[in-house]
């Protein structure tokens, strides 16, 4: 997969995290991604920049200046994909909407990635990750009785992943038909789509009821171990549940361990008391050897040292000239070796590739266009 998108050029316009993540993923699969930033932005790279802009080229264009817009349209003429992350209507006001871009490249795959999509009553509303998780229903399913604010940007991540998938599908369609397309992707839609695997049916048969029951079995829960750490027990198979309670010398509780609510209370109480008798690592070692599904609950920092993730190349040892050595999360089925560029560091080089000479580049810079 490292080279699946070789020869594909992606332009990123706008500052939303999902667009950055999408370009990052596509870069890991072989695409060349050019990120368009605003001139005059503080040159210090954020932690997000250091990861999600890895392997990209960075140019600075003032799209509110007609010359900046024209330069972007010239870049679109040679691009395969444009990702824009503005509220609906902004791209049109800047003169870089789908119709304007199609005028210079009717084969482009144009992805509009916004909070609520290009239509609907709430299309113009501002929003952040927390609101998409809350409004989609996801917040109610994160394991606590009372909804809490999440500590990761799941809506950003899944929207970027969804965009990368949709764009890849559109590129496949283009290879067959020769035609470009306009993708209208909403973050709210993307998060809601995650619930399809657990709550995707309502009415006479409601999937969520079944999932709720299965997810609340004593043999499928998180328990505190004797060292204050936690283990995730997922003995969801009859075989593994039977093996668990046999190992714990209570085979009579195996049936109770597969039942939620009051029917499973005896097994739940027993497991809570039993897991406190040994450290988490000891439980994982003992029960894993019996083919019982169990894992220690890691912090994100600890996950960087997970042997399986390390073996799979999902933790990358990198270095950046501005900050030094880094450990960074990798890309499934892909790889990026170059670090993140400084903001706008490739502007002059990219413009020269468009045919701008040094004098033109100097004038554009002095006028604040780049």
Looking at residue 43, what is its pLDDT? Answer: 65
Whether residue 42 has pLDDT greater than 70: no
Whether residue 15 has pLDDT greater than 90: no
Location of each CATH 3.40.50.10540 domain in the chain: 9-195+340-366
Whether residue 66 has pLDDT greater than 90: yes
What percent of the chain shows pLDDT beyond 70?
Answer: 99
Report yes or no on whether pTM surpasses 0.85: yes
Over range 29-52, report the average pLDDT. Answer: 90
Looking at residue 278, what is its pLDDT? Answer: 97
What Å distances lie between residue 23 and 125, 138, 217, 267, CA to CA?
A: 25, 25, 40, 48
Look at domain 211-298 and name its CATH class.
alpha beta
Over range 155-169, report the average pLDDT. Answer: 97
Angle at 134 (CA atoms; ends 129, 140), nearest 5 degrees: 130
Closest CA to 16 of 96, 126, 113: 113
Looking at residue 211, what is its pLDDT? Answer: 78
- Note the pLDDT tens digit of each residue in 232-267: 999 999 999 999 999 999 999 999 999 999 999 999
CB-CB neighbours of 125 under 10 Å: 12
Q: What is the DSSP string of 86-111?
A: --TTHHHHHT-SHHHHHTT-TT-EEE
Location of each CATH 3.30.1540.10 domain in the chain: 211-298
Closest CA to 127 of 191, 59, 77, 205: 191
Looking at residue 144, what is its pLDDT? Answer: 75
CATH of the domain spanning 9-195+340-366? 3.40.50.10540
Over range 124-136, report the average pLDDT. Answer: 94
Over range 183-194, report the average pLDDT. Answer: 97
Q: How confident is the model at residue 44 (pLDDT cuts 50, 70, 90)?
A: confident
Whether residue 137 has pLDDT greater than 90: yes
Q: What is the DSSP string of 128-167?
A: -HHHHHHHHTGGGGSS-SS----SS-HHHHHHHHHHHHHH
Looking at residue 201, what is its pLDDT? Answer: 86
3-state DSSP helix/strand/coil percent for the chain, to nearest 5? 45, 15, 40
Whether residue 122 has pLDDT greater than 80: yes
Closest CA to 140 of 221, 234, 208: 208
Q: What is the DSSP string of 344-359?
A: TTTHHHHHHHTT--HH
Q: How confident is the model at residue 146 (pLDDT cuts 50, 70, 90)?
A: confident
Whether residue 30 has pLDDT greater than 90: yes
């Amino acid at each position: 997969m490292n080279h699946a998108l070789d020869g594909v050029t992606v332009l990123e316009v706008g500052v939303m995290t999902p667009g950055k993540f999408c370009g990052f993923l596509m870069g890991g699969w072989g695409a060349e991604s050019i990120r368009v930033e605003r001139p005059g932005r503080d040159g210090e790279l954020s932690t997000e920049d250091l990861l999600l802009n890895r392997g990209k080229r960075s140019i600075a264009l003032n799209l509110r200046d007609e010359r900046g817009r024209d330069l972007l349209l010239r870049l679109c003429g040679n691009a395969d994909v444009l990702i824009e992350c503005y509220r609906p209507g902004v791209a049109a006001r800047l003169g870089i909407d789908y119709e304007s871009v199609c005028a210079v490249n009717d084969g482009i795959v144009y992805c509009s990635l916004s909070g609520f999509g290009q239509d609907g009553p709430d299309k113009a509303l501002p929003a952040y990750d927390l609101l998409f998780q809350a409004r989609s229903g996801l917040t109610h399913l994160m394991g606590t009785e009372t909804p809490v604010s999440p500590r990761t940007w799941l809506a950003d991540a899944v929207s970027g992943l969804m965009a990368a998938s949709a764009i890849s599908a559109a590129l496949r369609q283009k290879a067959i038909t020769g035609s470009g397309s306009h993708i209208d992707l909403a973050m709210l839609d993307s998060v809601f789509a995650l619930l399809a695997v657990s709550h995707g049916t309502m009415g006479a048969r409601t999937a969520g009821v079944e999932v709720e029951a299965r997810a609340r079995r004593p043999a499928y829960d998180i328990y505190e171990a004797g060292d204050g750490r936690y283990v995730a027990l997922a003995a969801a198979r009859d075989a593994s549940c039977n093996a668990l309670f046999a190992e714990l010398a209570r085979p009579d509780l195996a049936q109770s361990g597969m039942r939620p609510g009051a029917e499973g209370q005896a097994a739940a109480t027993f497991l809570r008391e039993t897991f406190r008798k040994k450290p988490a690592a000891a439980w994982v070692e003992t029960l894993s050897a019996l083919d019982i599904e169990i894992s220690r609950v890691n912090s994100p920092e600890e996950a960087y040292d997970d042997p399986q993730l390390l073996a799979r190349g999902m933790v990358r040892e990198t270095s950046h000239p501005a900050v030094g050595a880094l450990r960074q999360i990798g890309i499934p089925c892909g790889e990026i070796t170059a670090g993140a560029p400084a903001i706008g560091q490739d502007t002059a080089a990219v413009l020269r590739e468009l045919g701008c000479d040094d004098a033109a580049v100097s004038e554009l810079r002095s006028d604040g266009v780049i």
